[in-house]
Every structure is written in structure tokens, then in C-alpha cells.
Structure 1
Amino acid sequence: MGDRDDRNRPVYMIGVAAQLAGMHPQTLRSYEQKGLVNPQRTSGNTRMYSQADIERLELITELTDEGINLAGVIRILDLQGRLDERDRELDDLHKKVRRLADRVHELETRENVASLVRSGQGGLALRRLP
């Protein structure tokens, strides 16, 4: 989770972000207005872009360079966001299944040990005291 947090940390002001993304700052403002990117804001209302925002801007450039208009880019980004969310949900479900499988294994092991002890096959010599 740390990598995701680092990628989303707002660190670049608009001029630096524009330079990193190979765009004019006004383009970033326009993209924000169209909902293509949503930089965080400081208490003084300064736009602050994260590495994830820069990567998103680079993807927008790549898509528009391929001839996709901004409406198409918006749709693609929306679908990508949904896919990413489903991937996170699937990862969470896999973790839950692994925890449940571990718990089942633990309970089966306890039951097997208890069964061996009950049947006297546990390797423990139980003697009755007179």
C-alpha cells in the first residue's frame, strides 16, 4: 500500500507538473476543468500534482496522439478506473480466501490432533494412576 500512497502524494506545483508531463500549464487547467485530472489543493488553493497525476497526464497525451478525442479519453480513463477498482476488490477477496483457507487448515489440524488423542494414537502413553 505504501507505493500507492507515494504515487498519490501531491508534490508538484502546476509549472513543474506541466514540464514533467510535457504540457503547458493552461492545458493542465483545461484538463482539470474537463475532469480529466483532479489535483489536490493546498490550503492556499494551489494545485499540487502527484506522480499518479503525471502518469495520467502522460496517458492522456498518448491517447490523444493516437487520435482519440477528449470524450473518448474520458471514457477510457473511467473504464480504467473501474478496472483498477475491480482489481483491488479481487485482491481483497483473494486475501480473505487465503485467511479462510489458513483458518480451515488450522481447525482441521486441531481436529486431527484431538482425534488422535481421543483414540490413544497420539504417541502419548497415558497411564491411569492407581
Structure 2
Amino acid sequence: MSPEDRRTMPLLPLSMVMQLTELTARQIRYYEEHNLIEPVRSEGNRRMFTLDDVDSLLEIRELLDEGINMAGIKKVFAMKSNCVTNSNIATISYAKFRSILRDEIQQVITVQKTSLRQGDLSG
């Protein structure tokens, strides 16, 4: 079994994912409703999560902590998905992608602070 197969194998119940991610069941269901994760349902209709799902939830939590709203998170996930599925785009590492995203967020924050300061000076 390849490492990728292991990452996509639904192994973890909701209770374990809650402990690993420090998210509530409601938060996890909310992200599922927004198609940010897609847990598999067991025969008893219980959600079973993959390691990739846990990584996505941790990334969502981190992006929220950085001040990005749900619309922004959806765009980030869409960009990631497009980078993976579009073979015409140069492949970059996940770490590089995160670095680029952090730089862009920092630029937006800096511009917002600058414009707020300029507004205070002109008033």
C-alpha cells in the first residue's frame, strides 16, 4: 500500500478528529456542508475521516486564525484544487504555496493598516 493510499483511507471517527483538530463537531459539519472536506460514510452512516481530511481541517483552522473568512478559505482550496488538477500549471510544493499565501495575506494586512493611518491623518 502506497503512502498516498494510506492518506486517503477513511479511518478516523468524528470524535478522534475533534481531538486532533480541536474543532467542535458542529464546526467540522459546517466545513463539510461547504464542501471543504468530504468524509466517507460508514455502513452505519457515521462519518469516517482520512488523514487528508484532518490536514484540511487543520489548514482551515489556521487560515481562520490568520483572519481569513470562509469565502477566502474556499478560494484557497479552489486554487489548491486547480493547481493539482491542471497539468499546464507548474507544480509547486505545498510549503511554497503556503509561503506565497502568507506573503499575500501580509501584504493585504499592511495595505489595510496603511490606508487606516492615512485616513486618520487626513481627518
TM-score normalised to structure 2 length: 0.67
Q: Distance in 2 between matches of 1:39 and 1:90?
A: 29
The aligned residue for residue 75 of structure 2 is 75
Q: CA RMSD in A?
A: 2.2
**Gapped regions of structure 2 (runs ≥ 5):** 92-123
Post-superposition Cα deviations, 1:20-78, rounded to whole Å, max 9, x if no partner, equal: 11111111011111211110111221100010000000000111111100111011001
**Gapped regions of structure 1 (runs ≥ 5):** 92-130
Q: What amino acid does structure 2 have at the position aligned with 1:7? A: R
Q: Distance in 1 between matches of 2:90 and 2:43?
A: 36
Query: What is the Cα deviation at residue 90 of structure 1?
Result: 7.6
Query: What is the Cα deviation at residue 85 of structure 1?
Result: 2.3
The aligned residue for residue 85 of structure 1 is 85
Q: How many residues matched?
A: 91
Post-superposition Cα deviations, 1:67-107, rounded to whole Å, max 9, x if no partner, equal: 100111011001101112236x989xxxxxxxxxxxxxxxx
The aligned residue for residue 22 of structure 2 is 22
TM-score normalised to structure 1 length: 0.64
Indicate how the Cα distance of structure 1 residues 63 and 32 shifts in structure 2: closer, same or farther if over 3 A, else same: same
Match of 1:36, SS state, is coil
